[in-house]
Amino acid sequence: MKKIAVLAMSVVVIMILPAVSHLHARNRESAGGQIQQDFQLRKASLADPALEFEIKHETGVTAIAFSPDNKILAVAADDYTVQLFDARTGRLWQRLNEPDRGARAPGVHPDGQRVYSLAFSPDGKTLASAGDIIKNNLLDGGQVTLWEIPSGKLLRTIIVNKEITTYTNSVVFTPDGRGLVTGMARYAPSASSGRHTETGVIKEWDAQTGALERKWEPLNSGVHSVTFSPDGQFMVAGRSDFTINFWDIKTREWRQTLPGMSRSFSLSFSPDGKTLAGCVGPNLPGVAGQIEPLLKVHLLDLETGRDEMMPASHRSFVTAVAFSPDGQYLASGDEGLYSTSSHRREGGMVKIWRIK
């Protein structure tokens, strides 16, 4: 759980110079800084994806998102950075923020925003990043930060919660681009069981003013991801109770619940609306005693309700997924491997898969 991660993981800040490595398919080659392709790319699909390239980070990857024009891949990492890459080559284009690079003892986190979700506005002119605020090594609420694209200018921040027990997990723009929806999980101790109870919090915000427009009724389990169907008719949430819920946007009424892929930490619709990609998320001991489901992208067939896994694996837990708007690619990111020397997760990887 992120609560454990926030309190227990140590961060030793080093100079952050993310290394970008390109693992191109065998029928691609780099020449003069440009990527050239032959005309015999092998066929690919979700059942048989082709790895185009990888982007390696110093720390774990926490969120990814494609711009609507397919040109930019935004990536957030556990070192609090948000960076923009060329979506077709993996070359670093712009860094939106700079983390605190000061030295600190193991177990001490820098102040700032840990980003767990990224979302582009429908017109591609704004990028929203959402996550928890860390202050004095403790959780201090959550916020959404809005960035102007392509300039990278900071537009505004929206404080979406001020509670030390509520985790800001997800953000998405409404289909018309005027609003934002945030998904959160609130934890509280349970007097009866000695453990904690968890409720889900969904709120709607004015993207221009940051004003709270609507607060949904609390759900009986935490919300870890929110998104909209491609046709704009449904809002979808992945929850801690291993379900994926669909609500009618016009009426805000519940319409359908599908069995989830354990805790659905990240959700992304294919452009045709037939498949919902997701991942289990970090900091889980396993799914029914299995590690494999944590290392792969899950694919939910929305016509049959069947959950399958992409055959290719990451070497560590998958934390984020995103379909490209043209439906040609799927990106997946992982949290990297834990280092006993630095007491943090290092070497997070984003993989770009060609699926058509």
User: 10-14, 52-56, 120-124, 259-263: which has the minimum mean pLDDT?
Assistant: 10-14
Report the C-alpha gap between 14 and 4 in whole angstroms: 23
The per-residue pLDDT for 7 is: 36
User: For residue range 15-37, what is the model confidence (pLDDT) as tens digits?
Assistant: 333 434 333 333 343 322 333 44
Q: Kindly tell me if the per-residue pLDDT of 59 is higher than 60.
A: yes
Phi, psi of 174 (to 5 degrees): -70, 155
Query: Across the chain, what does the average pLDDT equal?
Result: 85
Category of 191 on φ-ψ map: left (φ > 0), alpha (ψ -120 to 50) or beta: alpha
Q: Kindly tell me if the per-residue pLDDT of 337 is higher than 50.
A: yes
User: 220-224, 303-307, 323-327: which has the minimum mean pLDDT?
Assistant: 303-307
Report the C-alpha gap between 140 and 294 in whole angstroms: 29
User: For residue range 109-163, what is the model confidence (pLDDT) as tens digits?
Assistant: 888 999 999 999 999 999 999 999 999 999 999 999 999 999 999 999 999 999 9
CA atoms within 13 A on the CB side of 137: 12
- At 260, is the pLDDT very low, low, confident or very high (cuts 50, 70, 90)? confident
The per-residue pLDDT for 35 is: 38
- At 289, is the pLDDT very low, low, confident or very high (cuts 50, 70, 90)? low
- Alpha-helical regions (H) of 185-310: none
User: Which domains can be identified in the chain, with CATH numbers?
Assistant: 2-28+43-354 (2.130.10.10)
Q: Kindly tell me if the per-residue pLDDT of 5 is higher than 70.
A: no
Tokens of 154: 């900071």
Q: Kindly tell me if the per-residue pLDDT of 74 is higher than 80.
A: yes
Tokens of 83: 């960076």
Q: Hey, what amino acid is at 294?
A: L
Report the C-alpha gap between 69 and 122 in whole angstroms: 10
- At 259, is the pLDDT very low, low, confident or very high (cuts 50, 70, 90)? confident
User: 35-44, 92-101, 211-220: which has the minimum mean pLDDT?
Assistant: 35-44
Beta-ladder partners of 353:
51, 330
pTM of the model: 0.86
The larger pLDDT score, comparing residue 89 to residue 191, is at: 89
Q: What is the 3-state secondary structure (H, E, C) of 315-326?
A: CCCEEEEEECCC
User: For residue range 123-137, what is the model confidence (pLDDT) as tens digits?
Assistant: 999 999 999 999 999
User: 1-15, 27-41, 172-186, 263-277: which has the minimum mean pLDDT?
Assistant: 1-15
Cα end-to-end span (Å), the chain: 35
Q: Is 65 helix (H, G, I), strand (E, B) or coil?
A: strand
How is 103-133 classified by DSSP, letter by letter?
A: ---TT-PPSEEEEEEEEE-TTSSEEEEEEEE
Report the C-alpha gap between 215 and 125 in whole angstroms: 26
